[in-house]
Amino acid sequence: MASQIKGPALFLAQFAGDEAPFNTLEGIAGWAAGLGYKGVQIPTFDARLFDLNKAAESQDYCDEVAGICADAGVEITELSTHLQGQLIAVNPAYDEVFDAFAPKEVHGNPKARQEWAVDQVKKAAVASERFGLKHTVSFTGSLAFPYLYPWPQRPEGLVDEAFAELARRWVPIMDHYADHGQDIGFEIHPGEDVFDGATWEMFLEACGGHVAAMINYDPSHFVLQQLDYLAFIDLYHDRINAFHVKDAEFNPDGRQGVYSGYQPWLNRAGRFRSLGDGQVDFAAIFSKLTGYGYDSWAVLEWECCIKSPEQGAAEGAPFIASHLIDRAEKAFDDFAGGERDEAQIKRMLGL
């Protein structure tokens, strides 16, 4: 019996590099398969592994990419446009640092950078359709996030306008996705304007409950915010289309809390860890997602501040595999039951 949730799979972004086997799709897919992964999430922003422009134009190229993965022993789970999605909405405070996510020819030109990002994200919808997929993953970008803390006092209407503008930018993109049979799993992530359940609801409302607006669920970002990541599934399970399996821990003390004092990742109260090394209750997560009918991929995203990526990846595949659930097709106490008897039911109830 196969698990309802598919996996294990690996997000390739943190593993791509300039040395073999990490510098080509063929090499990194084979490496992932050798560790036990059955799927790979492809970062469309890494030209060493994938050419998004070509994928949007050529079915032959997409067939070639799918064939490379199949020959290695893995499937493509989703296409990621995290970096391009970030550039759909950038507060001027972040212009210089986020220029690094875009080609040099649009650096210093926020309007041109945004136009490039919109084009890229739209191309990912076409490419995903060519692969026969339904889901993609991305970021919303941020206009209001520099004003996260309510001091100095925010001018009335600032947050409302930020979300209205997010909707003005994203709805035409999501319309394009829906036209191609695709949706976008936005990773709920600090640094984005959509970073928790409340902001997700604001975004979804601003976008008119758009059918293509979905969630890439990643509990690690909720641990660092001290948000109930299991209750989040209860609230929003019908919008979860993707799952980043990433661990984290939060260890506050007399010096640090949620904001972690500008410290480097190793010294932060809240930090990401390799699977099994943090505080996330993955057994409960996999149980809830299975119970709610989630049937897409469980994808490892590695961002540990201590353990090497190679060790994290090697340990991650069996960790995910051990949490996959073959859902029961009958109740454990069926043996004690019997056929429905209407007369018996009425007698037992005194009717």
Cα–Cα distance measured from residue 22 to residue 12, given in angstroms and rounded to the nearest whole number:
9
Contacts of 56 by beta carbon, 8 Å cutoff, 6+ apart: 123, 124, 126, 127, 130
Burial group, residue 199, by CB count within 10 angstroms (0-12, 13-18, 19+): buried
Tens digit of pLDDT for each residue in 244-256? 999 999 999 999 9
Residue 59 reports pLDDT greater than 90: yes
Residue 337 reports pLDDT greater than 90: no
Q: Where are the alpha helices (DSSP H) in 42-191?
A: 52-57, 59-72, 82-86, 95-98, 110-130, 158-179
Cα–Cα distance measured from residue 252 to residue 202, given in angstroms and rounded to the nearest whole number:
29
Our separate counts of H helices and E strands in the chain read 13, 10
Tens digit of pLDDT for each residue in 287-297? 999 999 999 99
Mean of pLDDT values over 300-321: 97
Cα–Cα distance measured from residue 267 to residue 286, given in angstroms and rounded to the nearest whole number:
30
Percent residues over pLDDT 90 in the chain: 95
The reported pLDDT for the residue numbered 2 is 75
Cα–Cα distance measured from residue 298 to residue 282, given in angstroms and rounded to the nearest whole number:
11
For residue 140, give the 3-state DSSP assignment: coil
The closest of 246, 305, 270 to 8, measured between CA atoms, is: 246
CATH superfamily of 6-348: Divalent-metal-dependent TIM barrel enzymes (3.20.20.150)
Tens digit of pLDDT for each residue in 205-233? 999 999 999 999 999 999 999 999 999 99
Q: Give the CA radius of gyration of the chain.
A: 22
Burial group, residue 67, by CB count within 10 angstroms (0-12, 13-18, 19+): exposed
Tens digit of pLDDT for each residue in 160-204? 999 999 999 999 999 999 999 999 999 999 999 999 999 999 999
The reported pLDDT for the residue numbered 334 is 65
Amino acid at 303: E
For residue 40, give the 3-state DSSP assignment: strand
Domain boundaries, the chain: 6-348
User: Cα 247 vs. chain centroid, distance in angstroms?
Assistant: 13
The closest of 4, 55, 14 to 244, measured between CA atoms, is: 14
Bridge partners for 81 per DSSP: 138
Cα–Cα distance measured from residue 214 to residue 349, given in angstroms and rounded to the nearest whole number:
46
Percent residues over pLDDT 70 in the chain: 97
Residue 336 reports pLDDT greater than 80: no
Cα–Cα distance measured from residue 125 to residue 179, given in angstroms and rounded to the nearest whole number:
9
Contacts of 112 by beta carbon, 8 Å cutoff, 6+ apart: 105, 106
Cα–Cα distance measured from residue 50 to residue 65, given in angstroms and rounded to the nearest whole number:
8
Please answer whether residues 295 and 8 qualify as being in contact, where contact means their C-beta atoms are separated by less than 8 angstroms.
no
Average pLDDT, the chain: 96
